[in-house]
Structure 1
Amino acid sequence: CINKDGTMNELAGKYEGMKLEEARKAIIEDLKREGLLIKQEDLKQTVGCCWRCETPVEFLPTEQWFIRTLAHKEKMIELGRKIKWYPEYYRKRYEDWVRNLKWDWCISRQRYYGVPFPVWYCKDCGRIVVAKEEDLPVDPRLEGYRCECGSENLEPEEDVMDTWMTSSLTPQITTKWVEDREFFEKMFPMSLRPQAHDIIRTWAFYTILKAYLHENSIPWENIMISGYVYVDKGMAMSSSKGIGESPEKVIERDGADVLRYWATCAGVGEDLIYREKDITRGKKIIIKLWNASRFAETHLKDYKREKAELKIEDKWILSELYRVIEEAESGYKNFNPNKAKRAIENFFKNVFCDFYLEMIKHRLYGNDEESKKAAKFTLYQCLLAILKMYAPIIPFITEEIYQELFREHEGDISIHVSKWPEKGEVDEKSLKLGRMATEIISAIRQWKTQRSMPMSAEVEKVVIESKEDLKEIEEVVKGTMKVKEIEYGKVSEGTDIGFAKVEIR
């Protein structure tokens, strides 16, 4: 007894024409007046509301267009299992949704915008007239048509399609389903669908359904699920509610690379909290990458790509690099850029910058040409690999550095069309000795910091106790920390002192 405009119709009797809330109040008053109201109290109950404006909604029985869906539930589960889900546990959410479906897919909407149904209703014979494929696209409200009975007295369908009716065809549209069938056969199904977890029940499900109905196929081989972005109070970001930060403002203020770096803070399938400190952290990393590249540029200006005999620290950093290349590659291949980013960042910040760059400064500014050549070779290889690994996450800064430092030598017109960095063989001995060198350097740094000494201050003597032979890393420790003499002490029997015990005098 409710009209489409929210007023009561003729079935409501004396309440006809009233708005819903007015009618409810009038009914209560009538019950009171007749002495029929026994009790009145407020009750908490679930009320359907518009997700955008939170206005309560009423459901009206109306004729709509549907796609038969319930008959295909088992097939939808079967097809869902042919797709690889990242993370895998979201497949269960998809299957739970499919199993609990209770109605077919209503594909029509009563809106002012959308894709029109190419349908007319013949007023003479009652037929439903559907436009021929070669006549599409067509708006039935603007264009006439002829019925099989010969009549042109047709009434256009005024409903438009549900938005998921068209967005569920994105794999077909992207692969030129209609325009180029040969191309479509080559590209369909697609390799990946990235999307958020809240639309598994809509976009993912309907896309799988449409691919089955049209092609008897899955639409893509992999689906990568992302989470929501929340603000500190745990509320989901919403532009309509004014909650959160505009990405355009962040890009204008900090740059697109910074925003992209922040976006990879979440693991695949995880929600993400927007915090300024995370934005700042990403900005610092990008500035650090720029500064490291400027340092490298001063030493690689006339670089001739000559390979020299590598020193222990060169072999160590390259071994560390080969391991992080493998870890980053695994992250990207499994659609987890967060895993890749964490591996790259740890290597770049805590290994390459904090240690290796400091280890080679005395060599780069020294007079030993062979040592300098080896340091330049290693610096070149490491920085180029870091840029390539970072490029999918921060494409702009990596491209700019590549163009200035590497394009002339590498030949590729862009870092984004260059090959992924190659993994060499890990030198286990150099890896172990290099890590021991960083432990000793850290101990000397701490000793200097505690005494408010600059890192460039000379140290007379360092005594190292270790079960290992550390002669090979003596030069790098001395050169990095300005140590005049290293003495090796004896290790007490039956003690486990780890890598080394360092005493500074």
Structure 2
Amino acid sequence: DPTETEPAIDACPECGGDAWIGETDVMDTWVDSSISPLYVQGWPDESFEPTTLREQGHDIIRTWAFYTILRVVALEEDVPWETALINGMVFGDDGNKMSKSRGNAVQPEEAVEEYSADAFRQAIALGGQPGSDIQFQWKEVRSASRFLTKLWNVTRFAATHLDGDGWEPPANPAYRDVDRWILSRCSRVADEVAAAMDEYRFDAALRTLREFVWNDLADDYVELTKGRLYEGRPGERDAARATLFTTVSASLRMLAPFAPFVTEEAWHALPGTDGSVHGSTWPEPGMADREADTVGAIIADAASTVRGWKSESGLALNEPLDGVEVYPDQSPGAPVDTYDLSEAVNAPVRIREDEPDVELVPVGVDPDHATLGPEFRDRTDQVVAALESMDPADVHKQLRVEGEREVDIGGEVVVVPASAVEIRQEHRSSSGERVTVLEGEYSTILVTR
């Protein structure tokens, strides 16, 4: 403090003077920065109105925020802003505060050059909520880049079905259940994202959007309606096209703040749009429907479950099946339109409201050579042959009750422990038909092939 502390030297090296007088007009540098909301509005030549938003870090609340409030109140007798949005610090991929000395600092240009500005923007938006620190993670940038590719592919898919024949949205589309479901989901997502944005919860808004676009729209709805889009009757096809346009255009508008470049390109690639996506209005489909939510979720879940099972079983996704029965965990409360589901799984589909009547039936005996070999040595082949020739149901019952099985090998009876035998079982329906039982999120599904 120059008003209290003498200088470290006796006389001035320039003039030799020693009558020191401390400077009294000394302020913290943040006092100077506190003029920012006044300055940006042209004060004092222009009148001052509180700004809408102040964004700043939590580490300078005591300095920049406090001094700004103090100065504006003193000069204008008003608050400097309506809302202050407090940001956290940015941490590196290793979880430590970014620092050149730590070697964990990342320049935005690095991420932009490799993955795009939109991918980097999303990774930061997802990193934290107001007031919390943000950990930069390369995996989030890569994930965002993959999502943008998915978004572009969905847009191009929609464009191929909306372009080329002068198509225009019909006045009253003949929507099917899955159309009403995705439109209801889109309506709810638009409301949820708008509410999150109003609360500056950009992380929550973006997560909701990505889940809708990737899972509901791309993975479920598009796959369910490909049959109609490629081979449906004109009215059916037009309903799917109208739904695609509504949901894709709404998704682009909602994602525009998070991916301004890709959404602008996609907006111009989507037939039926005009101007810039950044000048468009917020989507308000207004088609939220609780019944459509329930019915559509059952259909989408069943399609995803069966298609996932096909993939895991090494079957082609268009492999025909003899039949699919869907047993919802809770009654949908309305008839379920199975047309799109049937097309998606390539099988006749029935929605059942009773309980599935199936049982596990033993169909084979699989001896464990690794366990039997050390025990029976040169007699192992005889034991294996004897086990494989037995009735699987009898072997299963004795092993379950007694924990072992007696085996006759050429007049000699040996005892085989349960640990040396595996019983193959299959699900069978009440009619004895072999079925595969799949557990979805909302239903139990029986597949016959």
Aligned AA (2:123): W
Report the equivalent of 2:70.
209
Report the equivalent of 1:472.
336
Unaligned runs of 5+ in 1: 12-60, 67-105, 108-161
Report the equivalent of 1:120.
none
Distance in 2 between residues matched to 1:291 and 1:275, nearest whole Å: 25
Q: Choose from 311, 319, 328 the match for 2:176.
A: 311
Report the equivalent of 1:63.
23
- Residue 365 of structure 1, CA deviation: 0.3
- Alignment map for 1:81-120 (pairs within 5 Å): 106-107=27-28
Report the equivalent of 1:414.
276
Report the equivalent of 1:321.
186
- Alignment map for 1:74-473 (pairs within 5 Å): 106-107=27-28, 162=29, 164-181=30-47, 184=48, 188-238=49-99, 243-265=104-126, 266-301=128-163, 302-307=166-171, 308-405=173-270, 409-411=272-274, 413-466=275-328, 468=331, 471-473=335-337
The verdict on how the C-alpha distance between 1:64 and 1:387 changes in structure 2, with shifts beyond 3 A counting, is: farther
The verdict on how the C-alpha distance between 1:492 and 1:250 changes in structure 2, with shifts beyond 3 A counting, is: closer
- Residue 9 of structure 1, CA deviation: 4.0
SS in 1 for 2:295: helix
SS in 2 for 1:224: strand
The verdict on how the C-alpha distance between 1:487 and 1:274 changes in structure 2, with shifts beyond 3 A counting, is: closer
Residues 356-381 of structure 1: per-residue CA shift (max 9 Å, x gap): 01111111101410011000100000
Does the 8 A contact of 1:229 with 1:274 survive in 2?
yes
The verdict on how the C-alpha distance between 1:331 and 1:485 changes in structure 2, with shifts beyond 3 A counting, is: closer
Distance in 2 between residues matched to 1:474 and 1:290, nearest whole Å: 29
Q: Choose from 418, 443, 449 the match for 1:500.
A: 443
Aligned AA (1:379): L
Distance in 2 between residues matched to 1:178 and 1:487, nearest whole Å: 72
Report the equivalent of 1:71.
none
Does the 8 A contact of 2:88 with 2:134 survive in 1?
yes
The verdict on how the C-alpha distance between 1:280 and 1:251 changes in structure 2, with shifts beyond 3 A counting, is: same
Residues 177-214 of structure 1: per-residue CA shift (max 9 Å, x gap): 23433xx4xxx101111111111122211111111111
Distance in 1 between residues matched to 2:237 and 2:24, nearest whole Å: 77
> RMSD over aligned Cα, in angstroms?
2.6
Aligned AA (1:207): T
Residues 47-79 of structure 1: per-residue CA shift (max 9 Å, x gap): xxxxxxxxxxxxxx963524xxxxxxxxxxxxx
- Residue 10 of structure 1, CA deviation: 5.5
- Residue 270 of structure 1, CA deviation: 1.4
Distance in 2 between residues matched to 1:166 and 1:482, nearest whole Å: 71
- Residue 492 of structure 1, CA deviation: 7.0
Residues 283-304 of structure 1: per-residue CA shift (max 9 Å, x gap): 1111111111111111111431
Distance in 2 between residues matched to 1:241 and 1:443, nearest whole Å: 47
Does the 8 A contact of 2:156 with 2:269 survive in 1?
no
The verdict on how the C-alpha distance between 1:462 and 1:401 changes in structure 2, with shifts beyond 3 A counting, is: same
Distance in 1 between residues matched to 2:43 and 2:214, nearest whole Å: 47
The verdict on how the C-alpha distance between 1:214 and 1:8 changes in structure 2, with shifts beyond 3 A counting, is: closer
- Residue 487 of structure 1, CA deviation: 6.9
Report the equivalent of 1:126.
none
The verdict on how the C-alpha distance between 1:365 and 1:229 changes in structure 2, with shifts beyond 3 A counting, is: same
Does the 8 A contact of 2:94 with 2:104 survive in 1?
no
Distance in 1 between residues matched to 2:442 and 2:106, nearest whole Å: 48
Shift >6 Å, 4+ stretches: none
SS in 1 for 2:85: strand
Give the TM-score taking structure 2 as reference length.
Answer: 0.72
Report the equivalent of 1:155.
none
Does the 8 A contact of 1:312 with 1:472 survive in 2?
yes
Distance in 2 between residues matched to 1:269 and 1:485, nearest whole Å: 51
Report the equivalent of 1:148.
none
Aligned AA (1:65): D
SS in 1 for 2:322: strand
Give the TM-score taking structure 1 as reference length.
Answer: 0.64
Between the two proteins, what is the percent identity of the paired residues?
A: 30
Residues 82-105 of structure 1: per-residue CA shift (max 9 Å, x gap): xxxxxxxxxxxxxxxxxxxxxxxx
SS in 2 for 1:200: helix
SS in 1 for 2:323: strand
- Residue 315 of structure 1, CA deviation: 0.5
Distance in 1 between residues matched to 2:281 and 2:349, nearest whole Å: 45
- Residue 468 of structure 1, CA deviation: 2.9
Distance in 2 between residues matched to 1:216 and 1:489, nearest whole Å: 69
SS in 2 for 1:472: coil
SS in 1 for 2:338: helix
- Residue 471 of structure 1, CA deviation: 4.8
After alignment, is 465-474 or 446-455 more displaced? 465-474
The verdict on how the C-alpha distance between 1:240 and 1:214 changes in structure 2, with shifts beyond 3 A counting, is: farther
Aligned AA (1:171): P
The verdict on how the C-alpha distance between 1:492 and 1:304 changes in structure 2, with shifts beyond 3 A counting, is: closer
SS in 1 for 2:23: coil
Does the 8 A contact of 1:260 with 1:394 survive in 2?
yes
Distance in 2 between residues matched to 1:251 and 1:499, nearest whole Å: 41
**How many residue pairs get matched?**
346
Aligned AA (2:46): D
Distance in 2 between residues matched to 1:326 and 1:258, nearest whole Å: 24
Aligned AA (1:200): I
Does the 8 A contact of 1:247 with 1:259 survive in 2?
yes
Aligned AA (1:502): I
Report the equivalent of 1:38.
none
Distance in 1 between residues matched to 2:22 and 2:143, nearest whole Å: 54
- Residue 242 of structure 1, CA deviation: 5.0
Does the 8 A contact of 1:434 with 1:473 survive in 2?
no
- Residue 330 of structure 1, CA deviation: 0.6
Distance in 1 between residues matched to 2:325 and 2:176, nearest whole Å: 23
Higher relative contact order (CA 8 A, sep 6+): 2
Distance in 2 between residues matched to 1:243 and 1:478, nearest whole Å: 52
- Residue 498 of structure 1, CA deviation: 8.3
Aligned AA (2:300): T
